[in-house]
């Protein structure tokens, strides 16, 4: 009797245990499937021997966005690098089935896509569907830089990045905004305090370390690994652009503080000069960009950008810098064709080259050529009447994009050092009298041009 009892008890307990275990399993599955299908897709991935998880996730994602009519394009540098090698083949057979999974199956943590903000109606529906499909998503928002330059507007926060995660793979969706100056901008990826820092390995992301500026790309619809995606028409061009796309925002807050101290000049002359300087800069940028000559804002124009986000009204000219390695003989004829005759040419390609073009009504365009040494960069100056040479020394710098008077232009990334080298520690104080031979704090006397070379190195028109 006792034995039976015990057995019954035992059986009962076993049964309960079984029920509980089944229940637990059910719960476990339910809970997980709501989050993502990690366990199951992993299994599938390992079965096929390749990381098809990625492929599946990308396919799901493309399905998701096409069901919401959101045009995205692929900007993943690793895939674009592979695609670029086979670009001819891919272009010629846009619909052909691919024999093997070549691009979307390399095991990676991320695949990166871009979204043009203006083509997207911000609707919540997308995220609901994404959740239903088993994606976890993260939105990174920040202040709208397009309103940052303006006094006292409560800049609305705009989405800069989205991350859709499923199983072991994540889609990084970078939101590109159109900005004044006819270019695209994406924001930096900065996590706010409460955000899950381990959501994905953020450090491995290809975009978001810095904000970036890009030209509007032409797109191409291709089919790779049996997935239809849009890619930049010229992948290698895009990758090139990406490698130095870093964007610097103007220091609007500091500029406002500057104008508090030194109220802006709103006289008719100042307004007129700014207008002319702006159109001269636009014309110069157009001309140099057409030639493919890289340039940046230098001297007073750079100071104006850095200090007050505007043209300094009493500066009377526009200054650009160009590396001597980018010099092209076509520069002078191109400017002449654009209606800017050469005013003077000092120095020669080998040494201290400087070009000046005559803009409208006395506004002058100066192009200084910069020579790179091991530990510094310099440009030269020449005094016409005496043939004296000067040298202006700068610490080494790289170039960043910025927006200035509705133009996407380069400035030295290390702007502060650059401006300080040129204008000294008191660059924040406006100076109306400026002597280019003695005022700059980085000027060095550099000898005199030999008299027999004068005809060549001092040309005034």
Partner 1 sequence: MDEWKPNPAIKPHKKRSWYLAWKYKLMNQRALRKLCQTGAVLFLLVTVIVNIKLILDTRRAAYEEEEESAQDYDDEMLNVEVPRHPVSNKKVLDVEVYSSRSKVYVAVDGTTVLEDEAREQGRGIHVIVLNQATGHVMAKRVFDTYSPHEDEAMVLFLNMVARGRILIFTIKDEGSFHLKDTAKNVLKSLGSQVAPFLSWRDMWTFVGKKGGEVYGEKHAKSPALSTWGDPVLLKTEVHLTSVEGRNAAWSIQVLTRRRKRFCSKVEGYGSVCSCKDPTPIEFNPDPLKDNKVFNVPVAVIAGNRPNYLYRMLRSLLSAQGVNPQMITVFIDGYYEEPMDVVELFGLSGIQHTPISIKNARVSQHYKASLTATFNLFPDAKFAVVLEEDLDISVDFFSFLSQSIHLLEEDESLYCISAWNDQGYEHTAEDPSLLYRVETMPGLGWVLRKSLYKDELEPKWPTPEKLWDWDMWMRMPEQRKGRECIIPDISRSYHFGIVGLNMNGYFHEAYFKKHKFNTVPNVQLKNVESLRKDAYETEIHRLLGEAQVLDHSKNPCEDSFVPDTEGKVYVMFIRMEQEADFTTWTQLAKCLHIWDLDVRGNHKGLWRLFRKKNHFLVVGVPASPYSSKKPSSVTPIYMEPPAKEEGAVA
Residues that bind partner 1 (CB under 8 A): 6, 9-10, 13-14, 16-18, 20-21, 23-25, 27-28, 31, 34-35, 121, 123-125, 139, 144, 146-147, 149-156, 178-182, 266, 268, 271, 274-275, 406
3-state secondary structure of 276: helix
User: To 10 degrees, what angle do helices 38-48 and 2-35 make?
Assistant: 80
Tell me the closest approach of the beta carbon of residue 122 to partner 1, in angstroms.
9
Nearer to partner 1, 96 or 125 (CB): 125
* Tokens 């009493």 -> residue: 314
Q: How far is the CB of 44 from partner 1 (least distance, A)?
A: 19
- Our CB check for partner 1 shows the closer of 27 and 445 to be 27
Rounded Cα distance, 403 and 275, in Å:
16
Cβ-count burial of 436 within 10 angstroms (0-12 exposed, 13-18 middle, 19+ buried)?
Answer: middle
C-beta closer to partner 1: residue 276 or 428: 276
**Nearest distance, CB of residue 240 and partner 1, angstroms:** 24
Q: Which pair of tokens denotes residue 375?
A: 């530990």
- Least Cβ distance, residue 141 to partner 1 (angstroms): 10
Q: Which is nearer to partner 1, 31 or 350 (CB)?
A: 31
| Of residues 83 and 318, the one with the C-beta less far from partner 1 | 318
CB-nearer residue toward partner 1: 153 or 448: 153
**DSSP letter assigned to residue 123:** -
Q: Are strands 157-166 and 407-412 parallel, antiparallel or unpaired?
A: unpaired
Taking a C-beta distance cutoff of 8 angstroms, is the pair 139, 131 a contact? no
Residue 254, both tokens: 């500091």
Smallest distance from the beta carbon of 160 to partner 1, in angstroms? Answer: 15
CB 134 within 8 A of CB 128: no
Separation between Cα atoms, residue 107 and residue 49, nearest integer Å: 11
Nearer to partner 1, 10 or 349 (CB): 10
Query: Which of residues 278 and 294 has its CB atom nearest to partner 1 in the complex?
Result: 278
Least separation in angstroms between residue 277's CB and partner 1 is 12
CB of residue 279 to partner 1, shortest distance in Å: 9
CB atoms within 10 A of CB 17: 10
Nearer to partner 1, 265 or 351 (CB): 265
Q: Could you tell me the smallest distance in angstroms from the CB atom of residue 456 to partner 1?
A: 41
Q: How far apart are CA 132 and CA 136, in angstroms?
A: 10
How much is the CA Rg of the chain, to the nearest whole Å?
30
Q: Please give the structure tokens belonging to residue 77.
A: 């540098």
> Is beta strand 317-323 parallel, antiparallel or unpaired with respect to 342-348?
unpaired
- Give the nearest distance from C-beta 173 to partner 1 in angstroms: 16
Nearer to partner 1, 88 or 361 (CB): 361
What is the Cα 28 distance to its own chain's centre? Answer: 43
Residue 320 is encoded by which pair of tokens? Answer: 């650009």
Tell me the C-alpha distance between 5 and 446, whole Å: 109
Closer of 65 and 140 to partner 1 (Cβ): 140
| Residue closer to partner 1 (CB basis): 8 or 221 | 8
Q: How far is CA 81 from each of CA 17, 103, 337, rounded to the nearest angstrom?
A: 55, 10, 39
How far apart are CB 53 and partner 1 at their closest, in Å? Answer: 20
Dist CA 200 CA 330 (whole Å): 50
136, containing H or E segment: strand 136-143
Least separation in angstroms between residue 42's CB and partner 1 is 14
Least distance from partner 1 to the Cβ atom of residue 403, Å? 10
CB 280 within 8 A of CB 360: yes
> Is residue 432 helix, strand or coil?
coil
Q: φ, ψ for residue 310 (rounded to 5)? A: -160, 170
């Amino acid at each position: 009797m006792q034995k039976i009892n015990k057995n019954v008890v035992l059986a009962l307990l076993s049964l309960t245990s079984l029920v509980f275990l089944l229940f637990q399993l059910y719960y476990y599955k339910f809970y997980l499937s709501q989050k993502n299908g990690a366990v199951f897709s992993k299994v599938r991935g390992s079965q096929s021997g390749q990381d098809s998880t990625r492929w599946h996730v990308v396919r799901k994602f493309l399905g998701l966005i096409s069901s919401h009519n959101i045009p995205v394009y692929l900007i993943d540098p690793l895939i674009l690098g592979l695609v670029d090698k086979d670009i001819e083949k891919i272009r010629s057979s846009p619909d052909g089935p691919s024999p093997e999974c070549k691009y979307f199956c390399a095991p990676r943590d991320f695949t990166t896509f871009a979204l043009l903000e203006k083509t997207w109606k911000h609707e919540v529906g997308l995220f609901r569907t994404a959740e239903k499909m088993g994606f976890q998503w993260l939105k990174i928002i920040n202040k709208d830089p397009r309103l940052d330059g303006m006094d006292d507007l409560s800049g609305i926060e705009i989405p800069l990045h989205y991350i859709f995660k499923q199983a072991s793979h994540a889609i990084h969706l970078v939101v590109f905004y159109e900005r004044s100056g006819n270019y695209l901008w994406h924001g930096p990826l900065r996590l706010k305090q409460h955000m899950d820092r381990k959501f994905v390995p953020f450090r491995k992301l290809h975009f978001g370390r810095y904000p970036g500026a890009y030209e509007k790309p032409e797109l191409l619809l291709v089919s790779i690994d049996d997935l239809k995606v849009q890619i930049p028409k010229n992948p290698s061009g895009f990758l090139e652009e990406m490698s130095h796309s870093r964007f610097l925002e103007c220091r609007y807050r500091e500029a406002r503080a500057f104008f508090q101290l030194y109220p802006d000049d709103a006289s008719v002359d100042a307004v007129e000069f700014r207008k002319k300087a702006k159109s001269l800069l636009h014309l110069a940028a157009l001309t140099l960009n057409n030639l493919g000559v890289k340039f940046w804002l230098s001297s007073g124009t750079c100071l104006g950008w850095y200090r007050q986000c505007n043209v300094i009204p009493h500066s009377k000219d526009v200054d650009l810098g160009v590396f001597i390695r980018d010099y092209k003989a076509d520069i002078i004829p191109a400017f002449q064709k654009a209606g800017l005759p050469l005013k003077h040419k000092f120095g020669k390609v080998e040494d201290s080259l400087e070009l000046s073009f005559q803009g409208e009504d006395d506004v002058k365009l100066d192009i200084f050529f910069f020579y790179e040494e091991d530990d510094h960069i310099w440009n030269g100056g020449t005094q016409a009447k005496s043939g004296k040479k000067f040298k202006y020394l700068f610490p080494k710098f790289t170039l960043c994009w910025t927006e200035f008077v509705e133009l996407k232009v380069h400035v030295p990334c290390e702007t502060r050092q650059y401006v300080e080298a040129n204008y000294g520690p008191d660059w924040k104080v406006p100076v109306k009298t400026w002597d280019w031979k003695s005022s700059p704090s980085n000027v060095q006397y550099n000898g005199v041009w030999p008299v027999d070379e004068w005809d060549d190195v001092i040309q005034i028109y």
